[in-house]
Each structure stands twice: as structure tokens, then as C-alpha cells.
Amino acid sequence: MVCSADWFAMTDLDPRLMRMLARHFHDLQGLREVAHAMFVQGVSLVWLTTRRQGWTIAAGAVGLPLLLTALSMLDRYYARFGRVVTKRRDGWGLRFAGLFAIVLLPLSTAGVPSLVWTTLAFGALWIAWDCRPYRSHHLLVFVAMIYVAFGRVAYPDAGDLAWMVPRLWAFASALALAGLLDHRLLIRAMRQTRASSAKVPDADTI
């Protein structure tokens, strides 16, 4: 007999979800994205209220250790879900550096959409496509990034970066929401698996 009755005890496991969880385990640790987003929002808020570069840099300097502390705490928190080593190491350091590069480097030529932001936006679109139907919320990040990318088109004559702050805020909000939904997906998948562990037959009986 190829299929025993035991075979059907685990049929509510979704292999696509399992594959996605294993493949994108680090990406799904969304509270890290929330921490990054809060940092961007905090610095943006200081710029928006003071309009002074010095204060904004100071806010960044104060926020950075807080962000690193939060990330370190999140490392310990997510360790409870186990460890997965992927071939493509999810480069949080690279993302972090990229985030700063986007903000600090000249954003774009006036009147032309930012190439960096557009490229990164398609990264978010790829995540939504690659992890469909579970991570379609990354479409929101895609839209927010395109909104930032086209900022220079809307404000071609702007002398400073004030035009960018509300757009950065929108991007950070989308990132935070996507991070929360990623985290919820991970928690639900793990909780679901723990709750129904009693249903599975013994290995010796299979």
C-alpha cells in the first residue's frame, strides 16, 4: 500500500507556504523592517519640524544606537523560531547602507525619476511576485517607492530635500506595514504548526 491513512493526517500542511517560509525566513522577520521604518520616520519628523540639517543629523546619531539595540533584541527574539541558512544571505547590512545611500546621495536629476528608487521599487515588486499569494502587501511598498522615485518630477525646481520628507514618510509607513504583515505571516505559520502538532502520527507507525 502506497498511501496509508496516516498520509492524510498532514494534508493541511501547505508545501508552498513551507517552501516560502524556509526560503524567505529572514525576510519574514518583519519587525526589523518596522525598526528601520521608525528610524526613517523619526529622522524625517525632526527635519520636518526643525528644518535644520544639524538637528536632523543629531537625530540620526541618537537614533542609530537605538536602532542597533532594537535590531540586536530582535535577533534574540527571532532566534526562538530557529535558524535557517540560505544560499542568498539576506543582507540587512547592505539594505541599511542602501537606505542611507538613498537618502544621502544626490537623489535624482530634476525632472527625471530616481533610478535608484525605481530599481529598489522593482525589488519590492519581485518579492510580491515571488512569494505570491502570501506577500502581496509588498505591492504597497512598490507603490510607495515609485511615489518617492517620481518626487523630482513633481518638484523639479525644489532647492532642498523638503519635498522628499512626506514621500519618505509614506515609504516608511508602507515598509512598516509590510514588515508587520510579514511578521504576522511568520507568527501565524509557526503558531499554526505548533497548535496542530498533536495530530501527527508517530514516526514509528508510518
Residues near another protein (CB under 8 A): 2-3, 6-7, 9-11, 13, 15, 18-23, 25, 80-87, 189-190, 193-194, 196-197, 199-200, 202-204, 206
Residue among 178, 169, 125 at smallest CA distance from 148? 169
CB of 50 to another protein, least distance (A): 43
Whichever of 19 and 52 has its CB closer to another protein, that residue is 19
Do the Cβ atoms of 44 and 189 come closer than 8 Å?
no
Residue among 36, 55, 31 at smallest CA distance from 45? 55
The helix (H) or strand (E) run that includes residue 200 is: none
CB of 42 to another protein, least distance (A): 33
Question: First vs last Cα of the chain: how many Å apart?
Answer: 12
* Cα–Cα dist 123/152, whole Å: 21
CB of 121 to another protein, least distance (A): 26
Whichever of 10 and 104 has its CB closer to another protein, that residue is 10
Whichever of 93 and 198 has its CB closer to another protein, that residue is 198
Main-chain phi, psi angles of 83, to 5 degrees = -125, 135
CB of 20 to another protein, least distance (A): 8
Whichever of 2 and 65 has its CB closer to another protein, that residue is 2
